Copies of this chain bind each other. A is one copy, B any other.
Amino acid sequence: MKKYNTSPISGMQELLPSAQATFDQFKSQIAEVFHRHGFQNIETPTIDRTDILLAKAGGDTEKQIYKVVKTAETATEADQALRFDHTVPLARYVVEHENDLPFPFKVTQIGRNFRGERAQKGRFREFYQCDVDVIGRNQLPLEYDADVIVTLYTALQAFKLPSMCIRISNRKILNGLLDSLQLTTQSAQIFNIIDHAEKVPASTTQASLVELQLNPQQIQTITHFIDLNGPRTSIITQLKQDFPAAMEHPIFQEGINELDQVLQAIECQIPQPELAIADLKIVRGLDYYTGTVFETFLSDYIQLGSICSGGRYDNLATHYTEHRLPGVGGSIGLTRLFYVLQASHLLQDYITQPLDYVIIPLSADCTPVAYQLAANLRQRGYSTDILFSHKKYSDNMNYASKVAKQAITIGAKELAEGQYSVKDFASGAVQSHQLPAELRLAE
């Protein structure tokens, strides 16, 4: 017999049923919040045209994309590939169906994406992302930046994550600052250095800026800038006071005003505004963001990285259409979040047995009543299994304790008395119940 490797491919998440039940519950709670906040769900195909997927991409994305081939093709010929995020297929979808969509189009996508990354802890090659986006036609009010953040915040709140904090900035502020410092040509490198600033000591960030040949004044300005974080009013005041030269710059001003407005709109909508703060270190690695940017951390687990991020992009679909489609969006990395909770031993609090009841008929003549009791319980919304087994009682109870919260046993003697017995596994309590009148034996 050929020996097969039956483990899932490395980088793929595969859960046992009880963990899967918790994962599914997370997913449906997120979907439920997105829906309640007025986002409409769509699904794009997993497989799309390679040229569409790679129109804007480059670098890592091009290296990581999975191509899809039939029997005779090679990867270089492959004109089909697996989507690596929801944003590119969304751009295609909006262009394709533009005339049939309402704008602003508030849309959510929850599904699996694929990246052939080097497998390592917490990095997945197949992973769920839960996206919300709002796409406007020609223009899109700033209120939607807040709408996206509030929706994602509310979805995450459902998990009672410890020490969650959303950190928000606006790229225009840094762009204006760098322009006022005459550093526009080096801005890509500086964005990159700031993006990594949290993961390295301050001295490394300093050294990187020195390496770029910035003068001490410029370096001091930038390091002071990225250290700013906190509640809206104090940060907006500090930005206006501490950077008088930049305040002359219209983009710097515009960025501050936008950040102020977005944070104000968030304050109106969430019960704990201190959990959504300004943080000027947030820039987001990807290049397509143009205004608001945000990332979400668990403050006690900063090293685990962001679990939810996004921002504003001026034009979703530049490559596919000449129409202007500004958007704002964000995404919860659910597979990653789930892994993080598991690795931090926070997950056990969420896990429960998947089913409500297992009914165990103790002899064949009890089966018809078991069927009817199951139908009765299911109609009332309880998940109910009937165990058919020739094994011993203790084995059957053991099975039931693994899949359900309670076991119901029906034996001939109890049946004659119109009763059944319920064992609750959490408390260990066993109780006798009367069968519903219509299920009692006629005699």
Known: A9-B47, A385-B106. A100 touches B16 (CB 8 A): yes
On whether the beta carbons of A319 and B74 are closer than 8 Å, the reply is: no
Q: Are A116 and B70 in contact (CB under 8 A)?
A: yes
Minimum CB distance partner of A112 in chain B:
B46
Q: Mark A137-168, 1 if CB is under 8 A from B, else 0.
A: 00101011001000000000000000000000
Contact B37 A385 (CB under 8 A): yes
Within 8 Å of chain B (Cβ to Cβ): is A122? no
CB contacts (< 8 Å) of A35 on chain B: these are 354-355, 383
Name A68's contact: one of B67, B72, B355 (CB within 8 Å).
B67
Min CB distance A6 to B, Å, is 4
**A220 sits at the interface (CB 8 A):** no
- In residues 92-106 of chain A, which contact B (Cβ within 8 Å)? 92-93, 95-97, 100-104, 106
| Residues 347 to 381 of chain A near chain B (Cβ within 8 Å) | 354-355, 358, 367-368, 371, 375, 378, 381
Chain B positions within 8 Å of A78 at CB level? 69
Task: Check A45/B9 contact, CB under 8 A, given A355-B40, A386-B38.
Answer: yes
Distance in angstroms between the alpha carbons of A8 and B386 in the assembled complex? 44
B8 near A96: Cβ-Cβ < 8 Å: yes
- B47–A354 touching, CB < 8 Å: no
**A66 interface residue (CB < 8 Å to B):** yes
Q: A7 near B: Cβ within 8 Å?
A: yes
Q: Tell me whether A71 and B66 are in contact in the complex, defined as CB-CB below 8 angstroms, given that A9-B49, A389-B141 are known contacts.
A: no
CB–CB B69/A69 < 8 A: yes
Residue interface bits A1-37, CB-to-B below 8 A is 1, else 0: 1101111110011111100110110000000000111
Identify the closest chain B residue to A381 (Cβ): B36
A321 CB contacts on chain B under 8 angstroms: 6
- Give chain A interface residues in 390-406, CB to chain B under 8 Å: 390, 399, 402-403
Q: Residue A44 at the B interface, CB < 8 A?
A: yes
Indicate if the CB atoms of B67 and A70 lie closer than 8 Å: yes
Q: Which residues of B contact A23 (CB under 8 A)?
A: 43
CB closest residue in chain B, given A354: B40
* B17 contacts A42, C-beta separation under 8 Å: yes
Q: For the complex, is A48 an interface residue (Cβ under 8 Å from B)?
A: yes
How far in angstroms is the closest Cβ of chain B from A262?
13
Q: Do B6 and A96 touch across chains, with their CB atoms under 8 A apart? A: yes
A16 to B100, CA, bound (A): 8
What's the tally of chain A residues with a CB closer than 8 Å to chain B? 101
Bound together, the chains give a CA A371 to CA B265 distance in angstroms of 9
Residue of B nearest to A31 (CB): B24
Residue A248 interfacial (CB < 8 Å): no
A375 touches B269 (CB 8 A): yes
Of all chain B residues, the one with the shortest Cβ separation from A379 is B36
| Docked CA distance A75–B265 (Å) | 52
B residues in contact with A112, CB < 8 Å: 46
Whether A14 contacts B70 by the Cβ 8 Å rule is: no
Q: For the complex, is A288 an interface residue (Cβ under 8 Å from B)? A: no
A301 contacts the other chain (CB 8 A): no
- Residue from the list B21, B73, B116 in contact with A40, Cβ < 8 A: B21
- Residue A181 interfacial (CB < 8 Å): no
A68 touches B68 (CB 8 A): yes
Residues of B close to A141: CB separation below 8 A: 388-390
Closest beta carbon of chain B to A116's beta carbon, Å: 5
- A55 located at the interface, meaning its Cβ lies under 8 Å from any Cβ of chain B in the complex: yes
Q: Is A63 interfacial (CB 8 A cutoff)?
A: yes
Give per-residue flags for A239-267: 1 if the beta carbon is below 8 A from chain B beta carbons, else 0.
Answer: 00000000000000000000000000100
Q: Which residues from 245 to 296 on chain A have a C-beta closer than 8 Å to any C-beta of chain B?
A: 265, 268-269
> Nearest chain B CB to A407's CB is how many angstroms away?
12
**In the complex, chain B residues whose CB is within 8 Å of the CB of A195:** none
Tell me the minimal C-beta distance from A357 to chain B in angstroms: 8
Residues of B within 8 A of A198 (CB): none
Q: Which residues of B contact A383 (CB under 8 A)?
A: 35-38
Q: Does A41 contact B (CB under 8 A)?
A: yes
Q: Give 1 or 0 for each of A54-69: 1 = CB within 8 Å of chain B CB.
A: 0100000001001111
A-B contact pairs, 5 of them (CB 8 A): A6-B52, A8-B96, A9-B47, A17-B40, A38-B385
What are the 6 closest A-B residue pairs judged by CB atoms, nearest first?
A: A38-B385, A12-B45, A17-B40, A141-B388, A6-B96, A143-B388
